[in-house]
Structures are given as C-alpha cells and as structure tokens.
Amino acid sequence: MSEDQQIEFKKSKITMDGYREFDEKLRSIENKRVAIFTHRFPDPDAMGSMFGLSWILKKKYSLETDFFYIGEISHPQNGIMLNLLNLDLKRAEDYQVNHYGLNILVDTIPENAGTKDNINIIFDIVIDHHRELPSNFNGILIHKKVGACASIVYDMMTNLIDDKDWLDEDSDADQKLATALIVAIVTDTEYMMSDDSTEFEFKAFSELFPYRNSNFLKQIVFFKRPKLWIDKKAEGCTKAKITEDGYAIVGLGMIPEKHRDLVADMAEEMVHWTGVETAIAYGIVGGTKIEGSVRSLNPSLTVADFCKNLGGRYGSGGGKHGKGAYRLPLSGMSIDDDEEEEDIEEACNSIQKRETKRIMRTIKK
C-alpha cells in the first residue's frame, strides 16, 4: 500500500475515530459471543487492551468474550499480570468459528497476528496504534498514533459508556481492569516518557489511577527477574560490540523459549548505556530461530523499517517509534538439545558471529 493510499485509507476508515462504525457493528450481531485476539506474544498492552474491550462489550452490548493468542506468554511480568488479574487467555487452537459472532484484533494488524499460519481468521475489527497499517482489510479499523493501544481502548470507554455504568472504586473487577490498563500504558510508553506518549496516555492514567489496586500494580510493574536473565545479561555486557556511531550489538547465545523476553529486557538496558543511541540484542531462541530486539533514541532511525530489514527475506520484523523486534528462522542450522555440549557451543558461536556481521551490514546500508 503506497503512502497516498494509506492516507486515503485512514481518512475513509477513521471517520469519527471509527467509534460510530464500531457501535453500529456491535449492535447488529446476532451471536452474543465475541472472540478477541492479539499478537503472538501477549504483553501488558495487549492484555490490558483485551480486558478493556471486553469490559466495553459487556457493559454496553451485553456481549460475552473470549481472549485468544497464538504464541507464548513467557515474560515473568506477563505471567504475574495474568495470575493477579485473573485474565483467562485461550490458545488459538481452541477457537471455533461457529461459536462467535465477531472477531476483533487488538494491538497488532492481521499480518502480524500469526493466525494465517494456523487458523485463517477473518477479523471484523482491528484496534491498533503501531505505524504499519493493514493491507487488504475490509473491516473496521480504529487506529491512532499514540503510545499504547490501551489508551485507545480507554478513549473508547469514555465515549461509549454512560456515566451510570462507569467504573466503581469498590468493585474488585473494576479495580483489576484499571490496574491492567495502567500497567499497559506505563510499560508501553516507558512510564509515559517515550517520544510517542500523547495526551491520551496522560488522560487515561490520571483518570484510571483512583480505581487501581495499588498492591497488584506494584507487583506487576516492579516484577522480579529470573537468575538466568541476570547471568545472561551480565555475560552479554562483557561481549557487547559498540560502534563509533552509537550502535550496541550483543548476542545472548542459546535461550529457552520460555525466556525469550530476556532479549527485549537486554535491549532496554543497553540503550541507556553511555554512548549508545541504538541497542540491538538477539538470541538463539529454542535453538530454531534468532529473535532480536531493537531500542533506539536516534530520531533519524525508523525502527520499524530497520527491524523489517533485519528480518530480511526469510524472516519478519516491525515495531513503532523507538522500539521493535525481528525474527529469523534457522531452518537447517537449527540446534537440537540432545547435541553434544561442545557442538552446541561451536554452532552457537558460529551463528552469533554471522548474525553480528549481518546486523553490521544492515546498519551500513
């Protein structure tokens, strides 16, 4: 989709912020159950957005909802959030099309939801805040250039819900919802200090704050990191390559699937090192793929495009202002757990050497 087409697409699809079309669509469905999907690895913004949207559908339209995702919930912060707030996320494999009158996608676009590889779902509504717009999408798009998808959902709450049905400070469910939305906003905007933070995030935070569960909020935001993360990051600090123009690159070696979020955590830390403008951390996740994370303070770098380039011909990548990620399958170069330790180390070193060189080539393009 060309830039001119994107502009026209946005003009045609975001009349009245898409809320009017959303309202009409929700009023017209006959099956009273709705499926809400998000991206492969649900983070606080994805989960908070699902939770908030579900609250809207229940309050205004008396609709029941189920939450679905494709990948894994591996980050310790996400696990704590799920457990404390009782969020029931189901595997996409359990989705049955005949059970739902509507399919909604939040915090990503259909191309990045991962559903085409497993179950080909037609989404009726997409709610997202990332730079990339969906292609060949005929449903309702609600898109704002803001720091967190959850702030769009909160804006929908304020526009669609009557005062008499608003949040109740004494309601346990409403406290959990407010907490989920606050966590979503502060984690996706670096405590509202990121460049893409907007008045939507500040408004949502200030108005939700009185309803929060302060104990849950602290436990989720200030989560404890596993020892494996600390050990890997300490080793990574000694091996990081820092260029003269402010790029820092580090390979974290073999990482179990359930610890894949260590990569993003490393990049978050690296970008705050002295002399670093752009941090690129990657690991060999599960022995089958390279997963990388990018964080940048460089205003001239479009991180989403940079991550696409890092994904290359055989992988994928994307992001938003200042942060992004990429994935690259290893295919025949995959490393099996039952291989001898010496062979695993040799293969890992070879892959990391090659990947660092590839990143350097991408930087120089």
Give residue 316's pLDDT.
92
Q: What's the rounded Cα separation, in Å, for the pair 48 and 94?
A: 21
Q: What's the rounded Cα separation, in Å, for the pair 233 and 262?
A: 8
Question: DSSP states of 162-189 as a string?
Answer: -GGGS--TT-HHHHHHHHHHHHHHHHHT
Q: Decide: 140 and 21 in contact? Cβ < 8 Å.
A: yes
Is the pLDDT confidence value at 17 over 80? no
**Delimiting residues of CATH 3.10.310.40 domain(s) in the chain:** 227-364
Q: Which tens digits make up the pLDDT trace of 189-204?
A: 989 988 889 999 999 9
Give residue 118's pLDDT.
64
- 211-227 average pLDDT score: 95
Q: What's the rounded Cα separation, in Å, for the pair 20 and 252?
A: 47
Q: Which tens digits make up the pLDDT trace of 110-163?
A: 988 888 766 778 999 999 999 888 988 999 999 999 999 999 999 999 999 999
**Delimiting residues of CATH 3.90.1640.10 domain(s) in the chain:** 3-221
Q: Decide: 292 and 263 in contact? Cβ < 8 Å.
A: yes
Is the pLDDT confidence value at 322 over 60? yes
Q: Where in the chain does DSSP place strands (E)?
A: 33-37, 64-69, 89-91, 102-106, 125-128, 140-143, 241-242, 247-255, 278-285, 289-296, 316-320, 323-329
Q: Which tens digits make up the pLDDT trace of 225-235?
A: 999 999 999 99
Share the mean pLDDT of the chain. Answer: 91
For strand 289-296 and strand 323-329, is the pairing parallel, antiparallel, or unpaired? Answer: antiparallel
Q: Which tens digits make up the pLDDT trace of 18-52?
A: 899 999 999 999 888 999 999 988 999 999 999 99
Give residue 15's pLDDT.
41
Give residue 110's pLDDT.
92
Q: In CATH, what is the architecture of 3-221?
A: Alpha-Beta Complex (3.90)
CATH pick for 227-364 out of 2.102.10.10, 3.10.310.40, 3.40.30.10, 3.90.580.10: 3.10.310.40
- 317-335 average pLDDT score: 90
Q: Which tens digits make up the pLDDT trace of 88-125?
A: 999 988 999 999 999 999 999 998 888 876 677 899 99
Proportion of the chain above pLDDT 90, given as a percent: 78
Tokens coding 133: 């717009």
Q: Is the pTM of this model over 0.85?
A: no
Nearest Cα residue to 15 out of 136, 142, 128, 130: 142
